Chain A
């Protein structure tokens, strides 16, 4: 969780740097998704991550969105979605590409919900959304590689 807190702060700082140019990708959410799939799916652990994602979302809302609750709700739904799919997947199917797909879909859904929630969806807002999604791709690839490396290490 400390790593996720650091990533949240990093995301916040990048947003400060890029304010007016771009929307920073949801690094925090991606790391939360990574953490969920990387450990045991016990109810206590998942519940803890649900509340952690919620808290991270609330503070993000208070800092950047201005509507407390929106990102928090999106984060909670994303965590539950990832958990449900990952939990139903047999152990052999829990691969790095599936993780990349899940994390990518989660990030896209989070971005599109934020975009739709904006008061004035415009071309400029759409461009910001597209840039946000594109910048998330290298991070997604990196997380998938880390996950693949971890899988291989565990199976070795």
Chain B
């Protein structure tokens, strides 16, 4: 009896020690831990494939009507905007640039509960043309940028992440600010002067910031002001995408000449 208990006790203590060692390892070497996570995801992707496909079918069926309406509205909006821009370019006698980039559809394959508002993993990677820093959209609105890429998958840092910072502009007033997340699902437009007043519903879009992130990608709409500090007033932005239920996203890829529209 005592021998039996001792044996079990030793195994329990060993297992607990190994568990604690793993916990320490995951906090001390997050990069290696993440590699292990990715490796496990790769290995399990095969048995999980039927479940993933089934989820997509169910999701697509249930969202079909809603998405169709949203897309039609958005399409109409974009067509009008496109027409107005073409007219403006024609009147300015400027050549109309050709679109040299494309959108790559990707499925969300992983979203950790403890990093719900920080990152998601998608099933497209370097092999499909995904590059680091590429913008990711859903429902036509920016939801994040690619933060790491492997051959067959990529991690996307969400716009709601506290470490996400992005220059943005309010379309109607051309006022610039910095879009920032808070890890709790909120998006804020920071560093706008306190005297600036925006109206609810004004569109906030990306400003010109780099090679990969073109200006003019809509992020969301102004929702309301936050608490002002140091002469600045943050404005809460309501994302145009359904950030709580991300299943399919689109990654903006570079075109043949390496430029973006």
Partner-B contacts on A (CB < 8 A) = 9, 12-14, 16-17, 19-20, 23, 42-44, 46-47, 50-51, 54, 57-59, 61-70, 72-73, 76-77, 80, 83, 117-120, 122, 125, 128
Q: A13-B47, A17-B54, A119-B114 given as contacts; is B19 within 8 A of A69 (CB)?
A: yes
Residues of A within 8 A of B25 (CB): 68-69
Q: B157 in the interface, Cβ–Cβ < 8 Å?
A: no
Quote the shortest CB–CB distance from A114 to chain B (angstroms). 8
Quote the shortest CB–CB distance from B242 to chain A (angstroms). 10
Question: B44 near A63 (CB under 8 angstroms)?
Answer: yes
Question: B112 near A47 (CB under 8 angstroms)?
Answer: no
Specify the main secondary structure of chain A where it touches its partner: helix
Question: A16 near B115 (CB under 8 angstroms)?
Answer: no
Could you tell me how many residues of chain B have their Cβ less than 8 Å away from some Cβ of chain A? 47
Question: B247 near A20 (CB under 8 angstroms)?
Answer: yes
Which listed residue, A9, A23, A83, touches B113 by the CB 8 Å rule?
A23
Question: B114 near A42 (CB under 8 angstroms)?
Answer: no
Question: B40 near A119 (CB under 8 angstroms)?
Answer: no
Residues of A within 8 A of B55 (CB): 16-17, 19
The 5 closest A-B pairs by CB, nearest first: A69-B22, A73-B19, A69-B23, A62-B40, A43-B7
25 A-B contact pairs sorted by A residue (CB < 8 Å): A13-B50, A20-B245, A43-B7, A43-B8, A44-B7, A47-B7, A54-B15, A54-B18, A54-B19, A62-B39, A63-B41, A65-B112, A65-B113, A68-B37, A69-B22, A72-B18, A72-B22, A73-B19, A76-B12, A117-B114, A119-B115, A120-B117, A120-B183, A122-B184, A128-B113
With A62-B40, A119-B115 known, 11 other A-B pairs at CB within 8 A are A9-B47, A12-B44, A13-B51, A19-B108, A19-B110, A23-B113, A43-B8, A67-B114, A76-B16, A120-B184, A128-B113
CA distance A59 to B110 in the complex (A): 15
CA distance A80 to B113 in the complex (A): 27
Question: A67 near B23 (CB under 8 angstroms)?
Answer: yes
Residues of A within 8 A of B115 (CB): 66, 119
Q: List the count of A-B residue pairs having beta carbons below 8 Å apart.
A: 118
Q: A17-B55, A63-B44, A118-B114 given as contacts; is B23 within 8 A of A68 (CB)?
A: yes
Q: A65-B112, A67-B114, A119-B115 given as contacts; is B22 within 8 A of A50 (CB)?
A: no
Q: B3 in the interface, Cβ–Cβ < 8 Å?
A: yes
Q: B21 in the interface, Cβ–Cβ < 8 Å?
A: yes
Quote the shortest CB–CB distance from A43 to chain B (angstroms). 4
Q: B111 in the interface, Cβ–Cβ < 8 Å?
A: yes
Most B Cβ at <10 Å: residue of A12, A16, A46, A70: A16
CA distance A46 to B15 in the complex (A): 13
Q: A43-B7, A51-B11 given as contacts; is B112 within 8 A of A66 (CB)?
A: yes
CA distance A16 to B247 in the complex (A): 11
Q: B4 in the interface, Cβ–Cβ < 8 Å?
A: yes
Q: In residues 23-76 of chain B, which contact A (Cβ within 8 Å)?
A: 23, 25-26, 33, 36-37, 39-41, 44, 47-48, 50-52, 54-55, 58
Quote the shortest CB–CB distance from A11 to chain B (angstroms). 11
Question: A42 near B20 (CB under 8 angstroms)?
Answer: no
Residues of A within 8 A of B246 (CB): 20
Q: In residues 230-255 of chain B, which contact A (Cβ within 8 Å)?
A: 244-247
Residues of B within 8 A of A125 (CB): 113
Question: B37 near A66 (CB under 8 angstroms)?
Answer: yes
Question: B41 near A43 (CB under 8 angstroms)?
Answer: no
Question: B16 near A70 (CB under 8 angstroms)?
Answer: no
Quote the shortest CB–CB distance from B166 to chain A (angstroms). 22
CA distance A51 to B8 in the complex (A): 11
